[in-house]
Chains A and B, each alone.
Chain A
């Protein structure tokens, strides 16, 4: 491969040289052949140019993913709670931006992406030791490893923040901070390592069950969605649920938040290409298509069922489409993304309308209904729709044909791999979340007192009010 490149470059050089010489001056004397040094310099220039382009895109993507947490998710969730809880709800997500960042620098990055066992990384990168500005060939070989590290940090931040939707309006701030910090190390880091880390159990490059998870359908949405369900069940319902009215207090804020989530998701999915090449384009296009189809799917489903197309339904459906396409975004064709989006919108709406009502759990802002369900469906649908024409992740056979990646290409095994990945995500999240909830509950208690819950998290937890109408 390397030799071939040199030969091609040499050839290009030889062809180009007389042409430019002719253009400058009609000198027909033969030019001296390119030296090895010239070729090497040229190659270095090319590498620099690619690093510049790739690094620019991934850095911008990192900022976009952070934008999804605040203000995206904080506004989305903040608008959905009652007025007395908006600051408490926003603070829960914002706290993750502080806590997880520090943890990531100390040990989180190393546990997720360091060399270790198939289940969790070791401590080689603790305190970011050895994580410098040179690329790491395992993780986006053209960008500085610190770019990769900070990009992955943004995913580690939003994942626990998503869970906060399930226990909205009733958890103590202190317990929430301890619980989610520990959850990040005990559930998120191992899952990220298994799927994306070098030597991971589910890594597409040599894992026992190679799982396609382009931007974190399993790592982010299944783990957080399932943890959301477990937490909602463990904590119990809000006082007065479901008899009292607990309608969203400011859907306008939720609208702005959903718009920012959609916008930031381009960084989440297309940035996961870790380069600015065609794969990023594919993920970008799929993201847009699935979000649109998800919004339409949800709205049509509820229009038929409840008689009205609601604004909250439209934004919920778009988020469901985005959560579901996350895993597939760099593996499937655009038409598959449309199909995945519609399925996500319809199924997630049924989860929220029917299943939640039937079982009666109080997943307050539907973190499980949207992210848990969307992530799980996304895992399976990726196995179904993955196309080697988009991402030939399994390489080529002897005759140069790309090996089938998904079931529509003939590789039905992949659906099994995806199911295995989802099952491990569910199991890890159930066990880890339950254990942590139990410990934190015994140590410091999880719920605010009924009096504090009635007063609202803003005043009882933070001593502030989101809205002061007499100010």
Chain B
């Protein structure tokens, strides 16, 4: 089992979600987030005062998948979220030890 976390542009959420469902991913969790990587935010003006906004709105998608879905999921996100510009986001993949379904105590791959 793998956990795939993707931080993406908020505007790309719908496209990524559809691509993931098409790729066979059945569950995911969406978090509204703020952050920045190498992209260093932008400036705003209010009554002549300049503000640097360094933390920008992002969306974080979390999902746990079976090992065989790894590449399909990554390709789905890449295909839907990429604009080619700075600020497109990142994907992180990590191993998960166990999963438990709270409703009926199912364990492991059956639970996801």
Contacts and interface: CB of A to CB of B under 8 A. Distances in A.
B45 interface: yes
B48 A245 contact: no
A247 B48 contact: no
A299 to B, nearest CB: 12
A308 interface: yes
A308 B45 contact: yes
A349 interface: yes
* Interface bracket on A: 10 to 19
B92 interface: no
A37 to B, nearest CB: 66
B77 to A, nearest CB: 28
A306 B48 contact: yes
A160 to B, nearest CB: 23
A349 B44 CA distance: 17
Nearest to A307: B45
Contacts of A308: 45
Interface residues of B, dominant DSSP: strand
A63 B51 CA distance: 39
A352 B47 contact: yes
* Interface bracket on B: under 10
A412 interface: no
Interface in B32-58: 44-51, 53
Q: Which of B44, B48, B51 counts the most chain A CB atoms within 10 A? A: B48
B45 A349 contact: no
A44 interface: no
Contacts of A354: 48
A312 B48 CA distance: 10
A245 B51 contact: yes
A313 B46 CA distance: 8
A242 B49 contact: yes
A325 B87 CA distance: 47
Contacts of A242: 49
A316 B45 contact: no
A354 B49 CA distance: 10
Contacts of B47: 312-313, 316, 352-353, 366
B51 A306 contact: no
Nearest to A251: B46
Interface string A340-357: 000000000100111001
A205 B46 CA distance: 44
A310 B49 CA distance: 12
A248 B46 CA distance: 8
Interface string B16-33: 000000000000000000
B48 A357 contact: yes
A306 B49 CA distance: 10
Interface in B45-80: 45-51, 53
A248 B45 CA distance: 10
21 contacts: A242-B49, A245-B51, A245-B53, A247-B51, A248-B46, A302-B45, A302-B48, A306-B48, A306-B50, A308-B45, A310-B45, A312-B46, A312-B47, A349-B48, A352-B47, A352-B48, A353-B47, A353-B48, A354-B48, A357-B48, A366-B47
Interface of B: 44-51, 53
Interface of A: 242, 245, 247-248, 302, 305-306, 308, 310, 312-313, 316, 349, 352-354, 357, 366
Given A242-B49, A312-B46, A357-B48, 7 more contacts: A247-B49, A302-B45, A310-B46, A312-B47, A353-B48, A354-B48, A366-B47
